[in-house]
Structure 1
């Protein structure tokens, strides 16, 4: 009797053990299948996103086809299409029509930028630059003389930067860049490439500020594809995380994480001084004033020596062209009168048109955007200085606190 009871108990335990083991197997099988499914979905979405955003081969194919037909020419054309010495590296594109890649060209590390949309005249919109036209590289037309091309360039620049006393010098500067092989003559393919590039804010700015230290140097071009110097450290601060991780990280925590990965305070101060110098060059430049309409960290970077560099100049627009475009912009309220991230004007509700003048100057927007970046980790000897009142003085053109003097930045030990 006892043996029978023992046998039944043993069999019952064995049955329950096997049942639990089967349950565990099914559970882990389900979790494994779920993990594989989620991973496959993430990889598919990432691949789809990559193929949509990163179209470097298409860009190269279009440019090289135009070059082989003699439509365009430039200093980078033979390296890109014949010698294959201009290499596309990692994709940095954030929009399908604006292709951005790291690259190498001989001994130079650069950034390759190319537009997959046709180029049009300067007009207010999402980009304030590239829009579609009937044909790409259709200007100037065959038979256009160099003098006529000069007039085209001068008229275009006048519309962008306004009437300048030294406008002829800027035209000469543009023509010197257009002469890519430096033979003293501008061919029709060179003129077509120069005209396409001239529509882009970033290229115009690179030419205007080519002798300044805070904008990457223009290395070469082919059609509307161009190569600029690569900035070692981008963005100005923060981490680039995969988008699935971005979804799960709270905004407050993400802001703190961005601040963790920043240089020491004296180096941050040096970078910020570079930003002030860049603003001075842009707003009080030789060839008119420009507005910086994107003060986000992704717009800037810095070198190994902690010198600031502007890495994305698409939202730096000539003030005159900005004003002319804004007064044509229909609006219902002030929210309709915004370009980029930071350039805002007010709405004339009676006329339903945006006002011409920007609400805040460059320096005020820079101080507001980077205040937290600069003030985090301030040395003790400066902490008594009340930086919380950081604002803008239109007379002194400086970011200042509640004292009349600017404190010295201590050397880093």
Structure 2
């Protein structure tokens, strides 16, 4: 359930009991998750040391082994202490534990220091409040669903371009989106993948600062790898987590490999081709088209993910930033 509201004179989004958005076909939903079983053990008499250990193990299973997890545990415990009495009651511990089971809430915590995610403003039970992002689509407004199926794709693109902000503002949003991809690749708490790359899941605020509107479409590397490990397949499509986090299928072994066919950066560049090329300044268009095309062909192989990806990403950001840096749009 998602509600809009006013809190302390600001527009907010209130979320309660959200189901996971990323469903992977064939996932072993029938088996009780270890963290849910652990949740049953969170009873009166659980010590703070035991609770810390539970949190650390939970974060390791979801974010992977990271040296920074101890600091995140400290932040979670501080957040759990709602009444600021220096202690965590059983009710407070159960509340924060229930929230951590929600992928979006876990990612909000993991990425809270980044400027490209909605700010978490408060929580209670399994309910939490975030700032409202005024523009919840890359194009400002999405074509109504009823019309989407009726309009040819070419007309759909034209409508999007008509609804979109002026080109310099789109360039600023695009730079923010590229920065977000940079942040989630080897971030403080590990690597994250965008697993449904769509203009409907990304947006911006009134200053045209990019915001990842739907964090439920983002997954941790540990989660995706756990899904792929030992998974049987006939084709690449059998190795897909969420909407488009696809790994290669080893046709000989009939098992999914661990590397993504297409990394988040390549998928985002595909999105940006329709977003920043139309209306781009003539002197920039050819080079921008060339760099975006190069970006969309990037491989998800681990051996190519470091220097090459950083180079492509920084070149794109620099190209766009140079064009708007000394204007009112920056």
Residue in 1 aligned with 2:227? Answer: 325
Contact 1:367 1:399 in 2 (8 A): no
Residue in 2 aligned with 1:396? Answer: 311
Structure-2 change in CA distance of 1:194 and 1:369 (3 Å): same
1:175 aligns with 2:77: yes
1:218 aligns with 2:126: no
1:360 aligns with 2:275: no
1:293 aligns with 2:208: no
Q: CA deviation at 1:359?
A: 1.9
Contact 1:160 1:318 in 2 (8 A): yes
State the SS of the aligned residue for 1:165.
coil
Per-residue displacement from partner, 1:164-219 (whole Å, max 9, x unpaired)?
22221111122122222222111111111111211222111211222221111111
Residue in 2 aligned with 1:205? Answer: 107
Residue in 2 aligned with 1:7? Answer: none
Worse-matched range after superposition: 361-370 or 390-399: 390-399
TM-score for both structures, normalised by structure 2: 0.83
1: CA distance, partners of 2:77 / 2:219: 21
Residue in 2 aligned with 1:406? Answer: 319
Q: CA deviation at 1:381?
A: 2.5
Residue in 1 aligned with 2:217? Answer: 315
* RMSD across aligned positions (CA): 2.9
Q: Which has the higher contact order (CA 8 A, sep 6+)?
A: 2
Q: CA deviation at 1:389?
A: 5.1
1: CA distance, partners of 2:62 / 2:262: 20
2: CA distance, partners of 1:307 / 1:324: 34
Residue in 1 aligned with 2:147? Answer: 245
Structure-2 change in CA distance of 1:189 and 1:372 (3 Å): same
2: CA distance, partners of 1:258 / 1:386: 20
1: CA distance, partners of 2:129 / 2:151: 35
Structure-2 change in CA distance of 1:284 and 1:244 (3 Å): closer
Structure 2 gaps of 5+ residues are 296-307
State the SS of the aligned residue for 2:88.
coil
1: CA distance, partners of 2:149 / 2:55: 47
Per-residue displacement from partner, 1:43-90 (whole Å, max 9, x unpaired)?
xxxxxxxxxxxxxxxxxxxxxxxxxxxxxxxxxxxxxxxxxxxxxxxx
Contact 1:124 1:326 in 2 (8 A): no
State the SS of the aligned residue for 1:314.
helix
TM-score for both structures, normalised by structure 1: 0.67
Structure-2 change in CA distance of 1:319 and 1:109 (3 Å): same
Q: CA deviation at 1:379?
A: 1.1
Q: CA deviation at 1:108?
A: 2.6
2: CA distance, partners of 1:267 / 1:101: 29
State the SS of the aligned residue for 1:148.
helix
Which of 256, 263, 267 lines up with 2:165 in the alignment?
263
Contact 1:239 1:261 in 2 (8 A): yes
State the SS of the aligned residue for 1:212.
coil
Structure 1 gaps of 5+ residues are 1-98
Contact 1:363 1:397 in 2 (8 A): no
Contact 2:239 2:248 in 1 (8 A): yes
Q: Where in structure 2 are the equivalents of 1:67-86 lying within 5 Å? A: none
2: CA distance, partners of 1:253 / 1:238: 17
Which of 259, 265, 272 lines up with 2:174 in the alignment?
272
2: CA distance, partners of 1:316 / 1:104: 27
Q: CA deviation at 1:299?
A: 1.0
Residue in 1 aligned with 2:65? Answer: 163
Worse-matched range after superposition: 150-159 or 362-371: 362-371
2: CA distance, partners of 1:128 / 1:348: 19
Residue in 2 aligned with 1:22? Answer: none
Structure-2 change in CA distance of 1:105 and 1:131 (3 Å): farther
